[in-house]
């Protein structure tokens, strides 16, 4: 458990100085790879870092000052983390609201519980997006197997059924055809844990776009350039509007669908660093992790513009499960390639163990290099 750090957020005379300056302690709820890389950026700028995670050997544990081993619904542990921190942030959505609220009694929690309350629950999130006037696809909540079957019949086209909470990396969701749904509504309902879910019309996608926005208290915001040119401006505007409406402090990734008819719809929100912006560490003036630190510490946000094209390739546990240890030496012989490992001890199929990144003179060159490095393993 943590030694209690002295709080350093400065209060000079009567005037409250809101910037949380280096030397202060950042508490992170969640010690996975996103927490680890945020912690590394924070340390680079001279912050102390402590994390809370159920796994005592979580990826962040190797790079932080202290680690609280507790579950994400342990509000007492969250309060302990916050008591020794000047600001608290998170790297995963699945933190209980009670933990966030308890932590907020001791230190600012950024993003705050009100944002997480909306984002954690697909029904609440979609209702919020809709009532705030943001474009989303057709959907229907379903609170029983019958409602689920009826919604699929009503849409009469392919649908995605997603559990209301707790899904990530495409888990907790099933694609169904209307012809098979009425017979198997009960099975589908059971397969998703017999819990409320949402039924979404499957949309004809041209492209998927994720836009990252960083926002600090007082509403300064910076949006990262999305990879897709045409719709860049529209996607950036939409992302800024959503972050403003949410009043979020920290990072927000907006996953969007560009449809074949040119419409841009919001898929879902993630109030944290995101796998699709790992390349920002190599490509941008300010990485998403440094930006997260600046935003939550109320420091001027960094420039998000591109320095050099970069690409990444996730390294899943499958790579370790072959006959040989991964040949990282061969991968690193390719120019511009860097290895990022998360220090997860047990490789499992589908588990994100690390990633490779590559820079190049063009986006194509970066992609080519990273794929070549991946193939060399």
Sequence-separated (6 or more) residues with CB below 8 Å from residue 87: 9, 20, 24, 26, 27, 107, 108, 109, 110, 296, 297
Look at residue 166 and give the partner it binds from ligand ATP, Mg ion, none, a contact being a CB closer than 5 to 8 Å depending on partner kind. none
203 binds ligand ATP (CB under 6 A): yes
Look at residue 137 and give the partner it binds from ligand ATP, Mg ion, none, a contact being a CB closer than 5 to 8 Å depending on partner kind. ligand ATP
φ, ψ of residue 250 in degrees (nearest 5): 125, -150
202 binds ligand ATP (CB under 6 A): yes
CB atoms within 10 A of CB 262: 10
Please state, in angstroms and rounded to a whole number, the distance separating the CA atoms of residues 131 and 247. Answer: 16
Please state, in angstroms and rounded to a whole number, the distance separating the CA atoms of residues 171 and 163. Answer: 9
| Residue matched to tokens 């030694």 | 3
Site for Mg ion in 214-273 (CB under 5 A): 255
* Residue closer to ligand ATP, measured from CB, 130 or 219: 130
Q: How far is the CB of 147 from Mg ion (least distance, A)?
A: 23
Look at residue 307 and give the partner it binds from ligand ATP, Mg ion, none, a contact being a CB closer than 5 to 8 Å depending on partner kind. none
Query: What is 211-248 written as a DSSP string?
Result: EEEEE-TTS-EEEPPPS-STTHHHHHHHHHHHHHHHT-
SS3 content of the chain, % helix, strand, coil (to 5): 35, 25, 40
Q: How far is the CB of 159 from ligand ATP (least distance, A)?
A: 8
Look at residue 200 and give the partner it binds from ligand ATP, Mg ion, none, a contact being a CB closer than 5 to 8 Å depending on partner kind. ligand ATP
Residues contacting ligand ATP: total by CB under 6 A:
17
Q: How far is the CB of 29 from Mg ion (least distance, A)?
A: 20
Q: Which stretch binds ligand ATP (CB under 6 A): 70-78, 197-205, 301-309, 349-357?
A: 197-205
Q: Pattern of binders to ligand ATP over 132-171, x per CB under 6 A?
A: -----x----------------------x-x----xxxxx
For ligand ATP, the binding residue among 1, 146, 208, 303 (CB under 6 A) is 208
Site for ligand ATP in 347-376 (CB under 6 A): none
If 0-12 CB within 10 Å is exposed, 13-18 middle and 19+ buried, where does residue 266 land?
buried
Please state, in angstroms and rounded to a whole number, the distance separating the CA atoms of residues 330 and 333. Answer: 5
CB atoms within 10 A of CB 345: 8
Please state, in angstroms and rounded to a whole number, the distance separating the CA atoms of residues 24 and 21. Answer: 6
Binding site for Mg ion (CB under 5 A): 255
Binding site for ligand ATP (CB under 6 A): 137, 160, 162, 167-171, 173, 200, 202-203, 205, 208, 255, 267-268
């Amino acid at each position: 458990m943590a030694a209690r750090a002295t709080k350093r957020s400065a209060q000079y005379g009567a005037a409250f100085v809101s910037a949380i300056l280096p030397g202060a302690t950042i508490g992170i709820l969640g010690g996975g790879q996103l927490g680890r890389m945020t912690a590394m950026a924070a340390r680079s700028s001279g912050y102390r870092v402590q994390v809370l995670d159920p796994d005592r050997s979580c990826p962040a544990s190797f790079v932080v000052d202290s680690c609280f081993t507790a579950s994400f619904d342990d509000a007492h542990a969250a309060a302990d983390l916050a008591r020794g921190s000047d600001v608290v942030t998170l790297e995963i959505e699945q933190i209980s609201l009670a933990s966030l609220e308890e932590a907020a009694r001791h230190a600012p929690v950024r993003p705050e519980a009100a944002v997480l309350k909306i984002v954690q629950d697909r029904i609440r999130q979609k209702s919020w997006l809709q009532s705030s006037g943001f474009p989303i696809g057709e959907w229907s909540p379903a609170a029983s197997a019958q409602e689920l079957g009826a919604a699929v019949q009503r849409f009469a086209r392919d649908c995605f059924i997603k559990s209301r909470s707790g899904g990530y990396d495409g888990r907790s969701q099933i694609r169904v055809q209307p012809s098979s749904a009425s017979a198997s509504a009960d099975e589908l309902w059971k397969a998703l844990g017999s819990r409320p879910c949402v039924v979404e019309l499957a949309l004809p996608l041209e492209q998927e776009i994720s836009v990252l926005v960083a926002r600090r208290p007082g509403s300064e915001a910076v949006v990262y350039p999305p990879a897709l040119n045409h719709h860049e401006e529209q996607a950036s505007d939409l992302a800024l509007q959503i972050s403003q409406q949410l009043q979020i402090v920290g990072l927000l990734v907006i996953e969007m669908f560009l449809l074949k008819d040119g419409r841009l719809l919001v898929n879902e929100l993630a109030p944290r660093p995101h796998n699709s912006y790992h390349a920002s560490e190599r490509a941008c003036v300010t990485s998403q992790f440094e930006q997260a630190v600046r935003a939550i510490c109320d420091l001027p946000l960094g420039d998000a513009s591109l320095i050099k094209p970069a690409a990444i390739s996730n390294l899943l546990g499958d790579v370790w499960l072959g006959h040989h240890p991964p040949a990282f030496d061969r991968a690193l012989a390719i120019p511009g390639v860097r290895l990022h490992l998360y220090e997860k001890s047990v490789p499992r199929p589908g588990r994100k163990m690390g990633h490779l990144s590559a820079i190049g003179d063009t986006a194509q060159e970066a992609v080519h290099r990273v794929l070549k490095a991946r193939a060399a393993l």
